[in-house]
Structure 1
């Protein structure tokens, strides 16, 4: 992330919803399928902008298409207009442009951070009340923060476009990861009531994780296959959601199995249960 900041000035590859840009409405002389637009029109726009981040929005049955790009200069907007008229006989008078507000983009960044923080705090309260032990909640939230940071690093390394799907992806990972953690904590709580006097907590936690390991692996594998299918056959916006989600599923499975139980054990030793 530091390397990205030094090279491009941005930690992540923010999409137009976050950094702002230019929205151009083009009315073609005929209704073009979205596949033809992506194959014929978008490459010409990318040549003008020098940027591969071009978003298209089209309503079926209407010849008007909205192209969202980075902020264009007056000269680039004129070039854009001429290319549409010369290559696709678009109506020059119906080609309009408007600026995507950066104020809205800043609000979206704040909303994304706020959504993840609120979801994490709600998870902490839920686990605390369900297991009647703040140490369960603290260890699960620590694992959630780990998962969010790993996926954030994945966005930075792979340079996946950070758009509106980013918020949905993060919240999905938080919810999915906590689900596997609850299963393990449930088994730990059950085994605590049945463990023998000579059995250590380390052995009990290890057995609890082992007993739920196959369930965690099979559930994650099934979900991973379905998300991989979305990535393989989905459109670009779906791929931007599916790729980091696959990384989050793998990371969430690892943290639930390898981190949460061990961290709870450490917290239990550091902060032992007070006698009533």
Structure 2
């Protein structure tokens, strides 16, 4: 790694990135996304059992009716409770006869319950959430451009935004390819990925900026960027690994309700490390050359 030039081998990393993005965008165009109930609407069943039940027990019954992906919430004053008499179930829109079959099976398996509310509802978030998420991401990028431009220079800001667009695209691509459900927690994960990814890029850009101040004529700009990246490589790798430890733990043991959130974070974290180390510096150099050419 000591003699390996990241910048000089830019064609390899750019080719990998472009191929990956083409596959991802192709999937997004032709396969689309598996939108969750938050976006598409569905049916609500608010039930109160005579005996406390667990989420896993309710999901097991729902799975028999192809509703294993339903959102199940325990209604309890104790946020750490693992069982409760009150259960709120959100499923895709189902016909009345199918709902009757589900409730009949629920009563046979889990015991008697009172029906507090049953209705079909529209999307709770839907287009409004998509619009707000897009605005939030756009505003975060605008603020990042302003801050990095003031703190560094415009080309650093543009390079960071390009790297962020790649990270967001990679995360979206995986969810499209695997047809994982996209819900409100995914939007939160996407915004978290944006914040996390720019952090590693800024660290490298800060080192490049410091190196520019003491840049020796005997050292090419390419070598200067390579040395700047390598000088922060250990920190970047250690930070990424420790972050991944926490995310993997959440992914494995955090439960089904935050499974997709942790997977989005896992993909975004890995992509963020990739773009920060292997792409961001080269993108900045290309922007500098373009500016010099003008």
TM-score, length of structure 1 as denominator length: 0.88
2:128 pairs with 1:107: yes
Looking at both structures, which has the greater relative contact order when contacts are Cα pairs under 8 Å and sequence separation is at least 6?
2
Residue aligning to 1:53: 69
Deviations 1:18-64 (A, max 9, x none): 111111011111122x2xx41x332222323x243111111237512
Q: 2:145 aligns with which of 104, 112, 124?
A: 124
Q: Specify the alignment match of 1:166 in structure 2.
A: 186
1:201 is aligned to 2:218: no
CA distance in 1, matches of 2:85, 2:198: 46
After TM superposition, give the deviation of residue 146 of structure 1 in Å. 0.4
Match of 2:96 in 1: 74
Structure-1 residue corresponding to 2:47 = 26
Query: For the Cα contact (< 8 Å) 2:27–2:173, is it kept in 1?
Result: no
C-alpha contact (below 8 Å) 1:29/1:63 kept by paired residues = yes
Displacement of 1:206 in angstroms is: 1.0
Answer yes or no: is the 8 Å Cα contact 1:81–1:95 preserved in 2: no
1:102-143 Cα shifts (integer Å, max 9, x gaps): 363221222222222222222112111111x11000000000
Give the 3 Å change call, closer, same or farther, for CA 148–76 of structure 1 in structure 2: same
Matching of residues 205-224 of structure 1 within 5 Å: 205-224=225-244
Residue 29 of structure 1 contacts residue 88 of structure 1 at CA under 8 Å; is this kept in 2? Answer: no
Q: Distance in 1 between matches of 2:168 and 2:180?
A: 15
- Name the SS of the counterpart of 1:57 in structure 2: strand
- Look up the match of 2:15: none
SS in 2 for 1:64: strand
**SS of aligned partner of 1:113:** helix
For 2:124 and 2:69, locate their aligned partners in 1 and report how far apart those are by CA, in whole Å. 20
The two structures have a TM-score, normalised by structure 2, of 0.83
Once residues 255 and 175 of structure 1 are traced to their aligned partners in structure 2, the CA distance between those partners, rounded to angstroms, is 14
SS at match of 1:30: strand
For 1:251 and 1:103, the matched residues in 2 are separated by: 31
Residues 5 and 270 of structure 1, relative CA distance in 2, 3 Å threshold: closer
Q: Alpha-carbon deviation of 1:5?
A: 6.5
Secondary structure at the residue paired with 2:51? coil
Q: Which moved more, 1:95-104 or 1:261-270?
A: 95-104
Q: What is the distance in 2 between the residues matched to 1:219 and 1:29?
A: 49
Deviates more, 1:134-143 or 1:160-169: 160-169
Query: How many equivalent pairs are there?
Result: 264
Q: What secondary structure is seen at the aligned counterpart in 2 of 1:28?
A: strand
Distance 1:119 1:205, change over 3 A: same
**What's the CA shift for 1:74?**
1.7
Separation in 1, partners of 2:110, 2:228: 65
Q: Which moved more, 1:146-155 or 1:113-122?
A: 113-122
- The structure carrying a bigger helix percent of its residues is 1
Report if aligned partners of 2:189, 2:264 keep a CA contact under 8 Å in 1: yes
In the alignment, the residues of structure 1 paired with residue 246 and residue 292 of structure 2 have an alpha-carbon distance, to the nearest angstrom, of 42
> Structure 1 stretch 252-261 or stretch 163-172: which is displaced more?
163-172
Q: Which segments of 5 or more consecutive residues in structure 1 lack a partner in the other structure?
A: none
Secondary structure of the 1:190 match is: helix
Given the alignment of the two structures, is residue 140 of structure 1 paired with residue 160 of structure 2, yes or no?
yes
SS of the residue corresponding to residue 45 of structure 2 reads strand
Secondary structure of 2:279's partner? helix
Name the one with the larger strand percent: 2
